[in-house]
A and B are shown apart, each in its own frame.
Chain A
Amino acid sequence: MVEGKKQEFWRWAETNWVDPDIRWEGAEFITLGIDVGSVSSQAVIMVDGKMYAWGNMRTGSNSPNSARNALKFALEKTTLTEDKVHYCIGTGYGRVNVPMGDRTVTEIACHARGANFFYGSTVRTVLDVGGQDIKAIRCDEKGKVINFLMNDKCAAGTGRGMEVFSDLLSVPIGEVGERSYQIETEPLAVSSTCVVYAKSEATGLLRKGLSTNEVLAAYCSAMADRIYSLLERIGVEPEFAITGGMAKNKGVIGRLTKKMGLEPLKTSWDTQLAGAAGAALFGYALCHKGRGRK
């Protein structure tokens, strides 16, 4: 047995960013969106509706602390302090536990609004694959939701499931997509997307002699199948965009694209930020309507 720290294959990089060209001094409204998800937490700070700074990190066992830490992380590279923020909206799974939040908005509305901001007003269908749920949203040119469904009963086919798999197969999470395509023939999809059953099925496949990459491919296509069945329910209308961490996994998205015959839009923003960005934009819109902090 090799001594030393065990490698955590599922761990993704926590990042923060600031736009050095934006001055917050003298801004009309500085709004903050905090998205406390089941797996990751983000804080996005907007200055008059423009992205100023953000922080993206893992959610801990304590939601209020996760919100505080994400905000601290977002503020790290800035000269801004928390008391300068005019309005804060909490969203995501842990939204009721955001201590600095002035109000909460569901992640459905926030993701649609965030996708509208990231991908432009042509987006009509938004798929958010989060840590423990999948949301399929249809929206109009303003980012207003017109039809949605959310499956949060079971974490099958979500980000956490992929983390479990990357750990099981000792493949760093960032390489899963790439490696799932380093195969000669596409294997059959794992028959169950249930993380527990899929895990035991994968162990069986490895024993049968399938390579790690082939097992990854089998799981990626099972996830694509599941995501597709949810999308079918609300109907897909172009343009199509994907938010959440899974948008970074080429293995799942590539297979989903092939099934749908529709290429998702691309963005330079971190797709995990969509919810928090939407929350910050709602804060800005509410302030403008005179419904901000009293």
Chain B
Amino acid sequence: MLTNYGYCDGSGNYFITIDTDKCNACGACVEACPGKIFKVVDEDPNDPMNEDPTAIVVHEKKNKLNYECGPCKPSGDNPPTPPCVVACKKGAMSHSW
């Protein structure tokens, strides 16, 4: 399942997409994110019939992605790929910006 966390408002689209079919809940994104926006949970809250653990974006940060993800945005001195995307070896992570 593609889970899109985030929002769109007047200033743009801010979505982080986690492909829960690819995610193996290794927790590398949790370590890599300086904003601490990820968490590994035992069961995907959006898929009650599935019992596999997965990474999610924590509820409190979901509506603040513009600010939380700002420091890692691929601009200026930042590398073109954000650290969470680099850390995810399964390629389950993507961003809307």
Among B1, B7, B8, B63, point to the contact of A145 (Cβ < 8 A): B1
Beta-carbon contact of B63 and A153 below 8 Å: yes
Q: A148-B3, A153-B63, A234-B4 are in contact. Are A109 and B15 (CB under 8 A)?
A: no
Bound complex: CA A153 to CA B49 (Å): 28
Bound complex: CA A108 to CA B1 (Å): 12
Chain B: interface residue total (CB-CB under 8 A) = 17
Beta-carbon contact of A106 and B45 below 8 Å: yes
Q: A152-B63, A153-B63 are in contact. Are A233 and B48 (CB under 8 A)?
A: no
Beta-carbon contact of B1 and A146 below 8 Å: yes
Min CB distance B49 to A, Å, is 7
Q: A145-B1, A146-B1, A233-B13 are in contact. Are A151 and B46 (CB under 8 A)?
A: no
Select from chain A the residue with minimum beta-carbon distance to B3: A148
Beta-carbon contact of A282 and B15 below 8 Å: no
Beta-carbon contact of A144 and B47 below 8 Å: yes
Min CB distance B94 to A, Å, is 12
Min CB distance B61 to A, Å, is 12
Select from chain B the residue with minimum beta-carbon distance to A110: B48
Flag whether B9 is at the interface (Cβ < 8 A): yes
Chain B 53-87, CB-CB to A under 8 Å as 1, else 0, gives 00000000001000000000000000000000000
Beta-carbon contact of A153 and B48 below 8 Å: no
Beta-carbon contact of B46 and A108 below 8 Å: yes
Flag whether A183 is at the interface (Cβ < 8 A): no
Flag whether B26 is at the interface (Cβ < 8 A): no
Chain B 1-43, CB-CB to A under 8 Å as 1, else 0, gives 1111011111001010000000000000000000000000000
Select from chain A the residue with minimum beta-carbon distance to B49: A285
Bound complex: CA A144 to CA B9 (Å): 28
Beta-carbon contact of A148 and B46 below 8 Å: yes
Flag whether A147 is at the interface (Cβ < 8 A): yes
Beta-carbon contact of A146 and B15 below 8 Å: no
Which residues on A sit within 8 Å (CB–CB) of B63? 152-153
Bound complex: CA A137 to CA B49 (Å): 17
Which residues on B sit within 8 Å (CB–CB) of A262? none
Which residues on A sit within 8 Å (CB–CB) of B8? 151, 229-230, 233
Can you report 17 A-B residue pairs in the complex whose CB atoms are below 8 A from each other? A105-B48, A106-B45, A108-B46, A109-B48, A144-B47, A145-B46, A145-B47, A146-B2, A147-B2, A148-B2, A149-B4, A149-B6, A153-B9, A154-B9, A282-B48, A286-B49, A289-B49
B residues whose Cβ falls under 8 Å from a Cβ of A? 1-4, 6-10, 13, 15, 45-49, 63
A residues whose Cβ falls under 8 Å from a Cβ of B? 103-106, 108-109, 144-154, 194, 229-230, 233-234, 282, 285-286, 289
